[in-house]
Chain A
């Protein structure tokens, strides 16, 4: 079983739609979680950290449920520029190596 699992998608949504991504993790010792964004053939870029209390950054909201070992990302009012692959990431182990999910592809169309 993969340590971080995501639905690969693709999610095809119109501009202005709300879309939600889910992610589960298997290592209960994982300390911190993040969502990264990766554009085609580019490096991953940190989108936001994920906290149990939930956190919001503009149109993006992330949530962590430690009891269920479940992480979510909600994107409201989707823009064409949101089209990318969204990577669910856990910080694991004593040396802070990042454990990446395989990513969920989002395509926003006019």
Chain B
């Protein structure tokens, strides 16, 4: 059973471009969480999704950020018009229920 997969592992964008981060949960997991880790800081919760539903987005910035988890395919975290402050590691975690969360390897976003 493959673990949580995230791609790309590294993403470089210029200011103003869009960034799309993908997360494929473990097989059988229908709960997906996104976390962001700024340099030298701990992980911060962003959003919790189940298939086709956003359950808790209390950690998402109000603008430019959106997330989805469609019926088919991976969960997507989308950042529009990226700024330098968006540079961070973005981790996805999945869970079979509201239980132990298993983390993916993360996507490191660098904004030039």
The answer, yes or no, to whether B74 is at the interface (CB within 8 Å) is no
6 other A-B residue contacts (CB within 8 Å) besides A42-B106, A98-B45: A41-B108, A44-B43, A44-B103, A96-B101, A100-B35, A100-B43
Given contacts A95-B55, A96-B95, A97-B33, contact A102 B105 (CB under 8 A): no
In angstroms, Cα B56 to Cα A44, docked, is 22
Contact between B42 and A102, CB atoms less than 8 A apart: yes
Which residues of A are at the interface with B, using a C-beta cutoff of 8 A? 4, 41-46, 87, 93, 95-103
Which residues of B are at the interface with A, using a C-beta cutoff of 8 A? 33, 35, 40-45, 48, 55-56, 59, 89, 91, 93, 95, 98-101, 103-106, 108
In angstroms, Cα B103 to Cα A87, docked, is 14
Contact between B44 and A100, CB atoms less than 8 A apart: yes
Contact between A43 and B103, CB atoms less than 8 A apart: yes
